[in-house]
Amino acid sequence: MTHRTAFLNARLIDPATGMDAVGDLLVEGSRIADFGPGLLANGAPEGAERVDCAGLTLSPGLVDLRAAVGEPGFEHNETIQTASRSAAAGGITALAALPNTDPVIDDLAGLEFIARRARETKRVKIFAYAAATRETAGKELTEIGLLAEAGAIGFTDGGPIADPALMRRLLAYASAFGQTIFQHPSEPRLAGGVMNAGEMATRLGLGGIPGMAEVIMLERDLRLVEMTGGRYHAANISTAESVNVIRRAKARGIRITCDTAPPYFALTERDVGDYRTFFKLSPPLRSDSDRQAIVEGLADGTIDAITSDHQPHDQDSKRVPFAQAAFGAVGFETLLPLALELVHKGQLPLSRALAALTHIPADILGLKSLGRLTKGGPADLVLFDADRPWCVEADKLASKSKNCCFDRRPVQGMVMRTVVDGRTVFTHAG
């Protein structure tokens, strides 16, 4: 007999359609049977599991544009099993895994490995990027057509593709297969430092990474997009000028999408403090004026999506001098509460924050059935208490690595239940 779950008295929000109403949602098997105000006014169907959602919000599950999942090669930092558990705890029902693993995901065997391990884990949906260049070395293009046919969700090297001639060929070739190039814009010859260039870096005696390293590569790539007609996504936008560049490009009709991550709207370079390596990120934390511009870019839609940019590292990679520490922080379980922080501050409407976490990233990845509430669509859901306060404790995160730059930060908004294809993959214990 098909398992049924009835979610009762929830605040139903579907940013894709603008729905925001108190109502019910019925799941049958792996699909959403129906939803809406008064749907189950006469009670749940006989035998259905009942979930009382009074005071809680039920929305499409979050779709994460970019994350490192450890396997293959970096299982000491994270595994697909632990990444899936952490993502589920954060309300994420689908994520796109970066290809810069060991070996690099630049062939069919690598894509099949990720797909197989995700099936075995049976928790969240994991899609894989393929490397844009062989071994992410920035020299030779991968077999984009074959990899796309095999299920690659997009193409990226994780880090910047520095050679403009190569990027031009890549955009043109990928466009022929309807594929998007995901770029981490940072001119490597300018980005040799370890934190944002400026007064803080000078005071700490650390090498600086100027914001212009991001802007210059972004400007270059946008000209190449104009030249080739390619599809391009800029990852981890962190500077005010980058927001301006993208705003102007969109006004000219250039096909570009972009994202940012919570550190760039919730933290600044001052959080580095006295060489706190958990705040060493790529791109680096910027100035407060940059942070404010990122918030404004999210509010007006210049920045399309919010991603976790989950980058797990073990203690040996972080508990070293700042200059030697690895870049990156874990982000699955803080993604939703940090986005909700913008809502609680009145900087974003709830529907806009959720749109940046659900159907917009799904659309960018070409996953048109995900990130939305659809009758007959996959039952990928997150049930959360938007107002519940809690304090981030890195040691209690489900991720295998604990390099969290929001440790001990008070936040508001807690995931209560995560559902993937009708299966409950996480419930809050408290």
Q: What is d(CA 44, CA 26) in angstroms, rounded to the nearest whole number?
A: 8
Q: What's the confidence (pLDDT) of residue 42?
A: 87
Summarised one tens digit per residue, pLDDT across range 232-260 is: 999 999 999 999 999 999 999 998 999 99
Q: How many C-beta atoms surround the C-beta of residue 37 within 10 A?
A: 11
Q: Phi then psi for 28, rounded to 5 degrees?
A: -120, 115
Summarised one tens digit per residue, pLDDT across range 265-313 is: 999 999 999 999 999 999 999 999 999 999 999 999 999 999 999 999 9
* Token pair of 23 as six digits: 């109502």
Q: What's the confidence (pLDDT) of residue 174?
A: 95
Query: What does the DSSP 8-state code read for residue 385?
Result: E
Q: What's the confidence (pLDDT) of residue 43?
A: 85
Long-range CB contact pairs, 249-257, < 8 A, 24+: 249/222, 250/302, 254/222, 254/225, 254/226, 255/225, 255/229, 255/230, 255/231, 256/222, 256/225, 256/232, 257/180, 257/232, 257/233, 257/304, 257/305, 257/364
* Token pair of 143 as six digits: 């077999």
What separation, in Å, do the N-terminal and C-terminal C-alpha atoms of the chain show?
Answer: 31
229 alpha-carbon distance from chain centroid: 25
Phi-psi region of 75 (alpha: psi -120 to 50; beta: other; left: phi over 0): alpha
DSSP-assigned states of every residue in 313-346: --HHHHSS-GGGSPP-B--TTTHHHHHHHHHHTT
Question: CA dist 333 to 30, 287, 413, Å?
Answer: 24, 25, 11
Task: Out of 14, 304, 309, 407, pick the active-site residue.
Answer: 309
Q: How many C-beta atoms surround the C-beta of residue 330 within 10 A?
A: 32
Angle subtended at Cα 65 by Cα 419 and Cα 89, rounded to the nearest 5 degrees: 35
Helices (H), 126-198: 144-149, 164-176
Q: What is d(CA 425, CA 430) in angstroms, rounded to the nearest whole number?
A: 16
Composition of the chain by helix, strand, coil, percent to 5: 30, 25, 45
Angle subtended at Cα 42 by Cα 39 and Cα 48, rounded to the nearest 5 degrees: 80
Q: What is d(CA 203, CA 192) in angstroms, rounded to the nearest whole number?
A: 18
Instruction: Clarify whether 102 is annotated catalytic.
Output: no
Q: Please enumerate in sequence order all residues whose Cβ is within 8 A of that of 278, keeping only pairs 6 or more positions apart, or say none.
A: 318, 329, 403, 404, 405, 407
Contact 71, 101 (CB under 8 A): yes
DSSP-assigned states of every residue in 253-296: T--EEEEE-THHHH--GGGGTTT-GGG--SSPP--HHHHHHHHH
Identify the CA nearest to 64 among candidates 380, 403, 425. Answer: 380
Q: What is d(CA 57, CA 75) in angstroms, rounded to the nearest whole number?
A: 35
Residue 408 pairs with which residues in a beta bridge?
Answer: none
Q: How many C-beta atoms surround the C-beta of residue 216 within 10 A?
A: 19
Q: What structural domains does the chain harbor?
A: 4-58+379-390+410-427 (2.30.40.10), 61-364 (3.20.20.140)
Residue 418 pairs with which residues in a beta bridge?
Answer: 382, 426
Q: What's the confidence (pLDDT) of residue 1?
A: 66
Rounded to a whole number of angstroms, the CA Rg of the chain reads 21
Name the stretches of the chain with pLDDT < 70: 1, 430
Angle subtended at Cα 159 by Cα 155 and Cα 164, rounded to the nearest 5 degrees: 75
49 alpha-carbon distance from chain centroid: 31
